[in-house]
Structures are given as structure tokens and as C-alpha cells.
């Protein structure tokens, strides 16, 4: 596993967090496409992989893991879980012939404010807003 750290001068805004999660979703899309090109069939979502949703409390740091790391660890917060769902949806549409720009516009990670300085990551698609943690086990 490789780590990349980004240090900010202050608390990240909702827009900054969404951009970071969008980048993670794009990385996950490429990971799904690579797996499929090798004949592999990874889980379509964290829920399908049996991942436990571990909601995090508001803090001064966030860790966003890519799909293979989440699947290996077996637990993640809503951000990486949403980025997996969005990445998979983008990959499915890429296979169907849509451009990277089109799938990025059609499937996004969107943060919904739950309380001050705390957001829940959701999957925004052409069909609405979807909670990727719905029905998942929590510790």
C-alpha cells in the first residue's frame, strides 16, 4: 500500500472534500476497468464485499482509502465507500462507451451536511441521490 498525504492550512471545506473524493472515485474507476480487463470480477460495492461501515466523528484529519485497500481492510467510513460506488458506476458506463468526462458528470460523490463540520458522502447519479452505506453493518 502506498500513502499520499495532503496537508491543508485549515479545515477542508465541503468543496475540497468533494474534489478529493472525486479523485478517489476516478482512481477506483480505473481500478475496476483494470480488473475487468484481466477477467477478474471484484465486488461492485463495499456492501457487496462485506465491508463494515465505520462512521467517523468530526476531526482534523481524514483518510481516504482506494477500493482494494477498503476490501482488504474490511472497514471504511462513508467517503471511501461512496467513492467505490461512484467509481464502479463510472466504470460500467465507460465500458458502455461513455467518455471519462461524461461519466464524471453523471456520477459524483456529493456531501450532505449532517451537522456542523460533519458530512455524509452520497452517490449522485442521473437517477438521484443514493446512500452507499444504506443497509451496511456498523460496529
Indicate whether 136 belongs to any domain.
no
Indicate whether 88 belongs to any domain.
yes
Indicate whether 74 belongs to any domain.
yes
Per-residue pLDDT, 88: 98
pLDDT for 70-115, tens place per residue? 999 999 999 999 999 999 999 999 999 999 999 999 999 999 988 7
Domain of residue 101 covers: 14-55+63-130
Surface-to-core class of residue 131, CB atoms within 10 Å of its CB (0-12 exposed, 13-18 middle, 19+ buried) = middle
Q: How many domains does the chain have?
A: 1
Per-residue pLDDT, 59: 64
DSSP 13: P
Indicate whether 6 belongs to any domain.
no
Determine the 3-state secondary structure of 28 from DSSP: helix
CB atoms within 10 A of CB 51: 24
Indicate whether 8 belongs to any domain.
no
pTM, whole model, 2 decimals?
0.93
Indicate whether 23 belongs to any domain.
yes
pLDDT for 22-76, tens place per residue? 999 999 999 999 999 999 999 999 999 999 999 877 666 677 899 999 999 999 9
Indicate whether 93 belongs to any domain.
yes
C-beta separation of 65 from 27 below 8 A: no
Identify each DSSP E strand in 3-131 by its residue range.
52-53, 75-76, 108-115, 118-125, 128-130
Indicate whether 139 belongs to any domain.
no
DSSP 49: T
Radius of gyration of the chain (CA): 14
Amino acid at each position: 500500500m502506498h500513502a499520499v498525504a495532503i496537508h491543508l492550512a485549515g479545515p477542508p471545506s465541503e468543496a475540497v472534500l468533494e474534489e478529493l473524493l472525486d479523485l478517489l472515485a476516478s482512481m477506483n474507476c480505473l481500478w475496476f476497468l483494470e480488473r475487468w480487463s484481466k477477467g477478474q470480477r471484484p465486488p461492485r460495492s463495499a456492501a457487496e464485499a462485506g465491508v463494515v461501515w465505520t462512521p467517523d466523528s468530526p476531526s482534523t484529519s481524514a483518510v481516504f482509502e482506494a477500493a482494494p485497500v477498503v476490501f482488504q481492510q474490511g472497514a471504511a467510513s462513508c467517503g471511501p465507500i461512496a467513492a467505490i460506488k461512484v467509481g464502479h458506476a463510472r466504470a460500467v458506463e465507460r465500458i458502455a462507451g461513455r467518455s471519462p468526462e461524461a461519466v464524471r458528470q453523471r456520477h459524483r460523490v456529493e456531501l450532505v451536511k449532517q451537522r456542523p463540520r460533519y458530512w455524509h458522502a452520497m452517490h449522485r447519479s442521473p437517477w438521484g441521490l443514493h446512500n452507499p452505506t444504506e443497509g451496511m453493518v456498523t460496529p
